[in-house]
Chain A
Amino acid sequence: MNKAVSVRTKRVIAALVSVGLLAGISVNTAVAAPKNLARSVVQADWLEKNLDNPDVKIIEVSTEAGLYERGHIKNAVKLNWYTDLVEVVNRDIVTGTRFQKLARAAGINKNSIVVLYGDKNNWFAAWGAWIFNTYGIEDVRLLDGGRVKWEKDGRAFTTTVPTPKDGNFVATKADKSVRATLIRDVLPAVRKKGSSDIVDIRSADEYSGKIFAPAGFQELAVRAGHIPGAVNVPWGSNVNTDGTFKTVAELKKLYSDKGIDGKKPIITYCRIGERSSLTWFVLSEILGYEVKNYDGSWTEYGNGVGNPISNPAGTIWGAA
């Protein structure tokens, strides 16, 4: 399939942009100043200058209800992750048809630069970026530091809701190269040791099996622990205290210290696949590794009958 080709092309373009060769011939004159040689993260200064650029489409994906309504970045369109970006009845990501409609309503064209941002270290903005990538939007970026940093820098918010003209974006078939499933990817990776790197981005206590889930989280697996062979790199370690991404060198070191250097395909997971999309973004879009996000995550894997697990702490459901 030319899906793989397009992913590769994308990386080549990214590399070219990063050395500044493409700046003049890019369709969009406004190319983000590359941070850490990665074009997938935009800086607030750049975005502020491009708020009215018709090629730039800004999308807010926040978790807290009412945040967007009480103030958002100018011209930003709101997407609601738990209704817009998933299928609410089936547990699945949004269908291509619905996504295309949504993206067009947000004014997204084939050649748009889509900039996503959100609250909580871009947690769900990264999930948005993953979905946007899945359906073939070529240029998807995250705003460094997200909403919190933007606000802290004293930059402007507005309550005016934009009314974009319908875009002409056409959704591709869901890209299997960015999404892992239990049967196709995860179980084979577990069985064939060393074929893939698996990154568990949950907290150390969840990983070790000391707890089932952090307090206050509703979605649970009845078993504690992690996927055998997975390494634990909590998602928060991707970012600095102000929510901005660490530098490429720091990120590379963070993962290579855990034995992940991009030479093998990578699978990222968490509890329901949302926080892990941030790690997917870092590994795939910033470091350029081959990464699939496993959105079934621990609530699917840990609940599945007979799936091999590793549970160092030995916590057993109901026995505590």
Chain B
Amino acid sequence: MGSCLISADTNFDRGGARGATSVEVSTWSKADTLRTLIAAGIVASLLFAAFLLSGKEGTGANAAFSLLLGAALGITLERGRFCFFCIFRDAIEDRDTTPFLSILSAIAVGAVGYAILFGQFLPDTSTDRLPPNAHIGPVSLILVISGLVFGLGMALSGACISGHLYRIGQGSIRAYPALLGSLLGFGLGFKSWNLLYSKSISGAPTSWLPHKFGYAGALLITLIVVAIIALLAIKWGKNSTPIANPVPASLNSVSLRNSLIVTRWRPLTTGAIVGVIGTIAYLRIEPLGVTRQISTTSRTYFEGKSWIPQNLDGLDLMAGCIAVVSDAITNNGWLILGLVVASFAAALAGNRFKWQQITWRNGLTALLGGIFLGWSSMIALGCTVGVLLSGTQSFALSGWVFFATVFFGSWMGIKLKLHKI
């Protein structure tokens, strides 16, 4: 069976890969009740915070909605262990590809959702227009390189950016140097942007499948590609865990409680929820992504220090998780706050919150890996959520290129044993 107990930061107690294979024996204690009540209180305060935010004139409603989206995402990522690096490592190292299906499920469900929205947002695909705000980026050699670097950064730091964010809620300490590193990485990204832009990105095509195949064709192609990858994953997955936890014999409040907050959510369900959240995010605010706020904070800080150029060529005209110069909290900032807090609530209720030990060594690898993550997601205009998920869901070739290269980068990282340094 898959083990995710290789390094401290991926330690997953109940509800982890282990828990997934056996019917939970209910050992509900008073402490569990207390933890769950506290978690419920945290969720309630998130709802209340959203309520307060929504009353703020102008941007309040969108900020509140972003907070709720983040909360939904945080709970889903935590409960389904939707961590790109863990999922890749399970597949590569343990040949357990069941978790991998959650990514495919997210892409498939999100692609259906995006096709529905696109059909209304941009009915005519025969012009060279692109749907508003969708994460459809230029496909260049630079994208390939940043995908590889991102994959290596994941291996070094132990997770991707969304992974680190929800792991904070589980008590990860390495997430902090990793996220600090990514702030620095973004700064390096801004520093190198103008050169890379003029050398490669500016001339790169922004390929969007519906321009050639229409929405029906693009969706069909996406689903076929997803199906082919699923078949390959099934073939590769010699040690795959069962696709679903054994179903409890009876439906009662204990079994419901267990499947909601204790056992790991099924990969297909988790992915489908992520796909739905992505669709709703695009409908109401902007495509799902987790780096816009980090990018904004980094850009504002470094620009204030005059360390990065004030003019970033062409950046404002691109689509993705792109920084704005702002001291205010962006919608994305609220989303991240909701994500971290809700993940904490979910982890607490399921008794998965544990402070995880950090050493100088793995703290430094997290920092270095974070720099890799930051640089590459600045250059690629997003990370595994913003480019990989939101990109593939919106039929962008850039999303698929990033998917392939991030996977290959992680594979290299794992073969080089970067995650075990």
Whether both chains belong to one complex is answered with yes
Chain A interfacial positions (CB closer than 8 Å to B)? 65-66, 68-70, 83, 159-161, 163, 216, 218
Which of A65, A83, A216 gathers most chain B CB within 10 Å? A65
User: Do the beta carbons of A69 and B123 come within 8 Å of each other?
Assistant: no
Closest to B129 in A: A83
B120 interface residue per 8 A CB criterion: yes
A160 to B133, CA, bound (A): 18
A70/B325 contact (C-beta < 8 A), A65-B133, A159-B120 known? no
Closest to B131 in A: A69
User: Do the beta carbons of A70 and B284 come within 8 Å of each other?
Assistant: yes
User: Do the beta carbons of B120 and A161 come within 8 Å of each other?
Assistant: yes
A216/B123 contact (C-beta < 8 A), A65-B132, A66-B286, A69-B132 known? no
Instruction: Compute the total of residue contacts between A and B using a CB distance below 8 Å.
Output: 24
Which of A68, A70, A218 gathers most chain B CB within 10 Å? A70
Within residues 276 to 290 of chain B, which ones have a CB less than 8 A from any CB in chain A? 283-284, 286
> How extensive is the interface on chain B, given as a class?
10 to 19
User: Do the beta carbons of A160 and B120 come within 8 Å of each other?
Assistant: yes
A94 to B278, CA, bound (A): 37
| Cβ contact of A70, chosen from B122, B123, B129, B283, cutoff 8 A | B283
- Residues on B with beta carbons closer than 8 Å to the beta carbon of A69: 120-122, 131-132
* B328 CB, min distance to chain A CBs, angstroms: 13
Closest to A67 in B: B132
Closest to A69 in B: B121
A48 to B316, CA, bound (A): 36
Closest to B287 in A: A66
A66 to B316, CA, bound (A): 15
A65 to B133, CA, bound (A): 7
User: Do the beta carbons of B123 and A161 come within 8 Å of each other?
Assistant: yes
* B267 CB, min distance to chain A CBs, angstroms: 31
Question: Can you offer 19 A-B residue contacts whose CB atoms are under 8 A?
Answer: A65-B132, A66-B121, A66-B132, A66-B133, A66-B286, A69-B120, A69-B121, A69-B122, A69-B131, A69-B132, A70-B283, A70-B284, A83-B129, A159-B120, A161-B121, A161-B123, A216-B325, A218-B311, A218-B316
Closest to B117 in A: A69
A161 to B122, CA, bound (A): 9
* A249 CB, min distance to chain B CBs, angstroms: 29
- Residues on B with beta carbons closer than 8 Å to the beta carbon of A159: 120
- In the complex, besides A83-B129, A159-B120, A218-B311, 4 extra interface pairs with C-beta distance below 8 angstroms are A66-B286, A69-B131, A69-B132, A216-B325
Which of B122, B132, B316, B325 gathers most chain A CB within 10 Å? B132
A163 to B119, CA, bound (A): 13
Closest to B324 in A: A216
A282 to B5, CA, bound (A): 69
Closest to A163 in B: B123
- Residues on B with beta carbons closer than 8 Å to the beta carbon of A216: 325
